[in-house]
Chains A and B, each alone.
Chain A
Amino acid sequence: MQYMLLIYEDERIYGPDRESPAARERRAQHIAYSRELGPTRLAGSGLKDSTATTTIRTAAGKQTIHDGPFAESREQLGGYYLIDAPDLDAAIAIAKKVPLAQNGAVEIRPLLVPG
């Protein structure tokens, strides 16, 4: 099965341009983690700061464009992996190793179309 791993962290710890020491250290960890995953990793990337987000909202069929993310919260979506795993337990084992700050979350979402 294919699973999306969505990474949520408080992005303030990395600084707005993602060039803080914390951000560099995390980036190095993600590179090492991706190498370790090998072919299990189908895709993945970090995302720019949530201040760079634009949201198109649709209400009653009418579209409006907004600055900022869809949901405001203390943790923001900051990156993702697309992985191939035999079952949820395998996906959980992989997701547990995603480099993360002291506080944060990784959401595991199965893809609608089985890969």
Chain B
Amino acid sequence: MTGAALDLVFREASGRIVAALASRFHDLDLAEDSFADACARALEAWSHEGPPRDAAAWLYRTAYRSAIDMLRRRRTEQRFAPELQRAAIEEQNMPDEWTPIPDERLRLIFVCCHPAVAPDARAALTLRLVCGLSTREIARAFLLTEPTLAQRLIRAKRKIAEAGVSFEVPGPEAWPERLDAVLSTIEIAYGRAHEDAAGSGPHFNYAAEMLEVTRVLAELLPREAQTAAIAAIVRFAEARRPARVDAHGMMVPLADQDPAAWVESLIVEARGYLERAISLQPRSPRVLQAGIHAAWCARQTLADPPPWSEILALYDQLLTVRDDAIVRLNRAVALAQVRGVDAALAQIASLAYESLADFLPYHAVRADLLCRAARRDEARLAYDAALALVTTSAERLWLERQRAALTE
């Protein structure tokens, strides 16, 4: 077996095993270190005969034993009696050949996304522990240096250990707060992956991981509309990925994308999640957002008119439950198509500029509307503002072309 194939075995097993160890020992470092130790042992043990039939179970047993050894070693180093006691108790529960690995990933997600953990560390910690991404991969996805990200993870883990963050899934009374921290973490993490339209950058694998995390979350919390809605949103958005960039690497706006290039299987899956979400809580913001994606993904061919009226109606509904600048900005795009450019520009002019000055879509949308209103000089300035903020090459190419077309 090649090193890459083994890496894949390790990665696929890691989330579940680290979660099981963490909730067993209530110690994230111990869980990570003992899993790493088990992988190192596996490399040696499997080098001749290849991995055993149930490689994950082997890794779990080995990591579990290694965790107990580590607890013992801590005792001899620090003469820490409680650790020895714990090791002895845990030893009695040692998994054997037939013990299934308990699925504790939900618990671990709630630990990683606890509101007491720094917001900028939550997504990274979840990707590291629950998805098994390496520090290097996460650092690249978040555009940070590896040492900076590693520091952030260390601080977050220390906080969890020292503040006494619970390893229990919170009760329903705490859910509005706790589940929202989990879901917004996923949204932030997915936003990073989605920005990279070409999918060629470091975010590529990471988008696949987001499909997995949202699947797990929706499976573990089947009665929550929000988890189903977010699973639907990620799938609808990922389904369109192949059509988001043209042959020259330039971004293709949603209304110009060829639906034939969208991934049908992901759209089907997404619709399933959306139906569940609608049956549970049809008017929650995330469910309405998923509905907007669904309306786009219902388009069959480029010859069909884009569903602008339906999109506008959905944004009107969304506005009644979530009224903020981003929703109003997105609504303005549909408004321009249904009621004309002037109505949309008036809508945008009413937004608080200060909060949006560094928000690329604000300038890009505004530039496009000004261009269509034949207000060329203002449009040019808006394109300049957008180009000053753009980070991906696909969008840069598109904005540059739009700006160049103004002077023709």
Contacts and interface: CB of A to CB of B under 8 A. Distances in A.
A95 to B, nearest CB: 11
Interface in B97-130: 114, 116
A87 B162 contact: no
Nearest to A1: B164
A6 to B, nearest CB: 14
Contacts of B162: 110
B408 to A, nearest CB: 57
Interface in B119-175: 162-166, 168, 170, 174
A90 B101 CA distance: 29
A5 interface: no
B173 to A, nearest CB: 9
Contacts of A32: none
Interface string A65-99: 00000000000000000000111111110000000
Nearest to A89: B166
Nearest to B174: A89
A92 B178 CA distance: 12
Contacts of A86: 166
Contacts of A90: 166
Contacts of B114: 88
A18 to B, nearest CB: 32
B163 A110 contact: yes
Nearest to A109: B163
B163 A88 contact: yes
A77 B49 CA distance: 65
A108 B115 CA distance: 13
B10 to A, nearest CB: 31
A35 to B, nearest CB: 23
Contacts of B165: 87-89
Contacts of B174: 89
A3 B395 CA distance: 50
Contacts of A1: 164
Contacts of B116: 88, 92
Contacts of A3: 164
B154 to A, nearest CB: 18
A45 B404 CA distance: 69
A59 to B, nearest CB: 28
Nearest to B82: A114
A92 B168 CA distance: 15
Contacts of B166: 86-90
A44 B168 CA distance: 29
Query: Which has the most chain A C-beta neighbours within 10 Å: B164, B166, B174?
Result: B164
A87 B116 CA distance: 12
A92 B170 CA distance: 12
Interface in B255-279: none
A90 B174 CA distance: 11
A86 B114 CA distance: 16
A55 to B, nearest CB: 27
B170 A89 contact: yes
Interface string B206-225: 00000000000000000000
A4 to B, nearest CB: 12
Contacts of B163: 88, 108, 110
A84 to B, nearest CB: 11
B282 to A, nearest CB: 31
B244 to A, nearest CB: 41
Nearest to B162: A110
Nearest to A93: B174
Contacts of A110: 162-164
B35 to A, nearest CB: 24
Interface in B46-61: none
Contacts of B164: 1, 3, 85, 87-88, 91, 110
Which 10 residue pairs are nearest across A and B when measured between Cβ atoms?
A87-B166, A1-B164, A88-B164, A89-B166, A87-B164, A88-B165, A88-B163, A110-B163, A110-B164, A88-B116
Given A90-B166, A110-B162, 16 more contacts: A3-B164, A87-B164, A87-B165, A87-B168, A88-B116, A88-B164, A88-B165, A88-B166, A89-B165, A89-B166, A89-B170, A89-B174, A91-B164, A92-B116, A108-B163, A110-B163
14 contacts: A3-B164, A86-B166, A87-B164, A87-B165, A88-B116, A88-B164, A88-B165, A88-B166, A89-B165, A89-B166, A89-B168, A89-B170, A92-B116, A110-B163
